[in-house]
């Protein structure tokens, strides 16, 4: 008998088969999140936005956090946001695998944080592989960057605009390109 629900299993990194008995719960949760997102994304009041984001993430969002909507999140409860975080317009967070954003992080417009992926084999492609994303203190993620599942962005690191990050970024480095390569140590 299964002792953990599908969301705990995702958080623990378990691959979820397309025919998992609880798979429907992921879509149901996404639609519940979407309902709150519609309200949040139609607000221009920073306090209201933080309040909705607190409901979506099931964690208190500090008053030092600024979010420019729209922000798109598929689940929310696996996202943790530190203090003094800035999230600019039109970002996408797929967080079933977990997203941690530490203090003083800046996220530019159109950034995608994708903690979920799929197997490449045709027969298993509809399965979901969750792996957490961790963005450490003082990191800056440039416009239109994509951070893929399982990646840690190091403390004080900078991800250049348009970069696709598929491997960990060391502390105190600037990365850029597709795929991301170290451009400079800072």
Q: What is the pLDDT of residue 1?
A: 45
Give 3's pLDDT tier (boundaries 50, 70, 90): low
CB 128 within 8 A of CB 16: yes
**Domain range annotation of the chain:** 6-185
Q: Which helix (H) or strand (E) holds 25?
A: helix 24-41
Q: What are phi and psi of 124, to 5 degrees?
A: -115, 10
Kindly state the DSSP code that residue 10 receives in the 8-state scheme: H
Question: Per the residue annotation, which of 78, 118, 126, 134 is the catalytic one?
Answer: 118
Average pLDDT, the chain: 96
Q: Model's pTM, two decimal places?
A: 0.96
Given a cut of 50, whether residue 44 has pLDDT beyond it is yes
**pLDDT level of residue 4 (50, 70, 90 thresholds):** confident
Q: Is 24 a catalytic residue?
A: no
56: helix, strand or coil: helix
The CA-CA-CA angle for residues 132, 111, 48, to 5°, reads 90
Instruction: Please determine, for residue 2, whether its predicted confidence score (pLDDT) is greater than 90.
Output: no
Tens digits of residue pLDDT in 127-164: 999 999 999 999 999 999 999 999 999 999 999 999 99
Q: How far apart are CA 107 and CA 120, in angstroms?
A: 29
Give residue-wise pLDDT tens across range 17-33: 999 999 999 999 999 99
Tokens of residue 73, six digits: 């999140």
Q: Which fold has domain 6-185?
A: UDP N-Acetylglucosamine Acyltransferase; domain 1 (2.160.10)
Residue 13 is predicted with a pLDDT of 94
How many other CB atoms are there within 10 angstroms of residue 23's CB atom?
15
């Amino acid at each position: 008998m299964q002792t953990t629900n599908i969301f705990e299993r995702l958080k623990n990194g378990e691959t979820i088969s397309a025919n998992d008995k609880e798979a429907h719960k992921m879509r149901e949760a996404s639609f519940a999140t979407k309902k709150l997102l519609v309200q949040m994304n139609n607000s221009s009041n920073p306090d209201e936005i933080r309040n909705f984001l607190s409901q979506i993430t099931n964690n208190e969002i500090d008053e030092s956090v600024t979010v420019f909507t729209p922000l798109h999140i598929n689940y929310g409860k696996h996202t943790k946001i530190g203090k003094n975080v800035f999230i600019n317009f039109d970002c996408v967070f797929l967080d079933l695998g977990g997203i941690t954003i530490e203090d003083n992080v800046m996220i530019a417009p159109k950034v995608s944080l994708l903690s979920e992926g799929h197997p490449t084999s045709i027969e298993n492609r509809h399965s979901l592989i969750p792996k957490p994303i961790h963005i450490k203190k003082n990191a800056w993620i440039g416009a239109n960057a994509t951070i893929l599942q399982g990646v840690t962005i190091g403390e004080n690191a900078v991800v250049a605009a348009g970069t696709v990050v598929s491997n960990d970024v060391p502390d105190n480095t600037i990365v850029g390109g597709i795929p991301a390569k170290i451009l400079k140590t800072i």
